[in-house]
Structure 1
Amino acid sequence: MRASRLVSLLLLLQTKGRMTAQALADELEVSVRTIYRDVESLHGAGVPLYGDAGPAGGYQLLDGYRTRLTGLTEQEAESLFLAGLPGPAADLGLGDAVSAAQLKLMAALPSSMRDRASRMASRFHLDAPAWYYDPERSPFLELVADAVWHSRCLEVSYRRWQAPEDVTRTLKPLGLVLKAGRWYLVAQGSSRISTYRVSQMQAVTVLDTTFERPGGFDLAEHWAASLEEFQARQYTGEAVIRLTARGFESFASNVLPVVARAAAESAVDEGERVRVTIPIESIGHAAGMLLRMGGEVEVLSPPELRAHITDVVRQLAATYL
């Protein structure tokens, strides 16, 4: 365990440069005192590692030093053959690069690990797109990805869902996210950081202007926060419904996870039925969602939702009876 931590500490300094003892302790999930001991051990092993005191101080490797450590555990080698999704890599223009990297890695592995890695690649396949959706055409994806990588501004003609539909924006592209087979650009506009669906871009021009990324910006953290904010804006109302035992059992497979979680957390057993409280987007959207469940669900409130479903049922009866 300690040997693995020493290797991790060395690789952290090699990839990130100067780091404080506290930053290393946080990264490796150990105490600062443990970091001090580990640094002494690396010194004793001849690693050219030095530290500076003060607010701008920290530990750093001597300029030009690169570790020759190339060891991978069997699990690490196996996982690398699941890391490069072939479809998304090809979308970004990196399909050949991923294939070449995997070939080089395979050639460098010992024969026993090579067999395990090959078995992993042949027995597990990751398919990112969601069911029932054709892959989206994103003709500007490679262009956008290149601008993200080189921090170059973009002029984008974009088709929105609300009026005015077609707008032109000058953007600072901060990152690309693949969600359920769809590519999204996270970019800074004139006033805030927003998300743009790449397939909705009608024209893209890469500008000569470069930009500095916002300090402390973390793409994964921003995306997670954006999803929470989106759901908070999306679900502005609440409904109380009563489900049969069978309806309650199948409810999660008919709704989005946020609705399923709310139902599970608010469930009240009423004997043959279960009463739950769920978030809803709008009366029309909620009606469509609940009508799919037929007689397994009864709406108790709000009255507007109950009335809307009653009207739909009457129209259906008039059509079919």
Structure 2
Amino acid sequence: MKMDRMLSIIMLLLDKKRVSAQELADKFEVSSRTIYRDIDTINMAGIPIHSTSGVGGGFEIMENYKVDQKVFSSADLSAIMLGLSSLSGMMQGNELTNALAKVKSFIPADQAKDIEVKSNQLSIDLSPWIGNKNIQPYLEIIKAAMQDNKLLSFEYSDTHGNKTTRTAEPYQLVLKNSHWYWQGYCLIRKDFRLFKVVRMTNLRMQEESFTARDYQKPQLDFDDILETIQITIKLRIHNAVMDQVLDYCAYENFTPDGADHYIVDFPFIENEYCYNILFSFGKHCECLEPSHIRAEMKRRVQNIAALYEN
């Protein structure tokens, strides 16, 4: 995994005077081009690495920036351990486990207790209670394909259930709102696409490699768009579903209505996703206004009831 590899590169450069690109490529079983990209990323992160060409050349951290293990504060190490621990619970494999072990090697004995306490103050568990059994093995396949620049083939179902066969170049895994996606260049659509992992079947990593192309990260912040399409509706809910509703709006949106109910100003977009959210609250939620949303809820309820009449 890229994060693990770059952390290991930094540690090697801290321990050694100079390391060649080929030596790093052989150690991490990647191409020299990948190593050069990692070095560029580390430089942009603020750790200046100097390269020397020719016989005996390689990479080294600039002498006036040379640091030792004390460069990491207890807060720094706690944050790194927390991030690696939360990911290792969701994405299996030796890379994250090894990275976590390496970070622990930075911990001075006199700070070990303090760092352990700090790293245990917050627990992040990204694994679902229940879910699609294919997600975790698919994540491993996607991760391996990104590591080796291998094409992925799969069948993909859109929101209308239409299934197509795709081949794509994988570039980035994305965890958004508890759902996994990956950004790739689709050879069928001739453009970048954001694929949702649960909509994929028959995922396979191909033997064929690809040359990485320049790409932009997918847009994941839709605040500006939401301002133009999002409306506020009024719900009356029972306190039995209060925790569920709080996943979508703040407590400031709640007004008590008797002993057991609340009136809630609820953010809403008129699409299937948001209607399904309202139905997830079941009989404990009533849409009061606007009238056309209330009427649409009634129509959908009647359609559901009609399924069971016979």
Contact map agreement 1:239 1:302 (CA 8 A) in 2: no
The letter of the residue matching 1:224 is L
Residues in 2 aligned to 1:18 and 1:141: alpha-carbon distance in whole angstroms: 25
Q: Which has the larger radius of gyration?
A: 1
Task: Report the alpha carbon displacement of residue 82 of structure 1 after superposing the two structures with TM.
Answer: 0.5
Q: Is residue 299–residue 306 contact of structure 1 (8 Å, CA) maintained in 2? A: no
TM (normalized to structure 1)?
Answer: 0.57
| Structure 1 residues 105-254: aligned runs within 5 Å | 105-122=103-120, 124-130=122-128, 132-134=129-131, 136-138=133-135, 139-165=137-163, 167-179=164-176, 182-189=179-186, 190-199=189-198, 200-215=200-215, 217-218=216-217, 222-225=218-221, 238=231, 240-241=233-234, 243=236, 253-254=244-245
What amino acid is aligned across from residue 100 of structure 1 in structure 2? N
Q: Is the 8 A contact 1:151 1:212 kept in 2?
A: yes
Once the two structures are superposed, what CA deviation does each residue of 1:264-308 show, in whole Å capped at 9, x if it has no partner?
Answer: 4xx999xxx9684742334854762575434xx552323362374
State how 1:1-321 maps to structure 2 within 5 Å: 15-16=39-40, 61=50, 63=52, 64-66=59-61, 67=63, 68-70=66-68, 71=70, 72-85=72-85, 88-89=87-88, 92-94=91-93, 96-122=94-120, 124-130=122-128, 132-134=129-131, 136-138=133-135, 139-165=137-163, 167-179=164-176, 182-189=179-186, 190-199=189-198, 200-215=200-215, 217-218=216-217, 222-225=218-221, 238=231, 240-241=233-234, 243=236, 253-254=244-245, 257=248, 260=249, 264=253, 276=265, 278-282=267-271, 285=276, 288=279, 292-294=283-285, 297=286, 299-303=288-292, 305-306=294-295, 308-309=297-298, 312=301
Fraction of identical pairs, as percent = 11
Shift of 1:74: 1.6
Unpaired runs of 5+ in structure 2? 1-13, 15-37, 53-58, 257-261
Corresponding residue pairs, total = 249
User: Cα distance 1:255–1:107, how it changes in 2: closer, same or farther (>3 A)?
Assistant: closer
Whether contact under 8 Å (1:135, 1:181) holds in the other structure is: no
TM-score by length of structure 2 reads 0.59
* Structure 1 unpaired stretches of 5+: 1-10, 29-48, 50-59
The alignment's C-alpha RMSD in Å is 4.8
User: Structure 1's 114 and 158: CA in aligned 2 closer, same or farther, altered over 3 A?
Assistant: same
- The alpha-carbon deviation at position 241 of structure 1 amounts to 2.7
Following the alignment from structure 2 to structure 1, what is the Cα–Cα distance between the partners of residues 42 and 299?
A: 66
For 2:206, what is the secondary structure of its paired residue?
strand
CA distance in structure 1 between the partners assigned to 2:235 and 2:203 by the alignment: 49
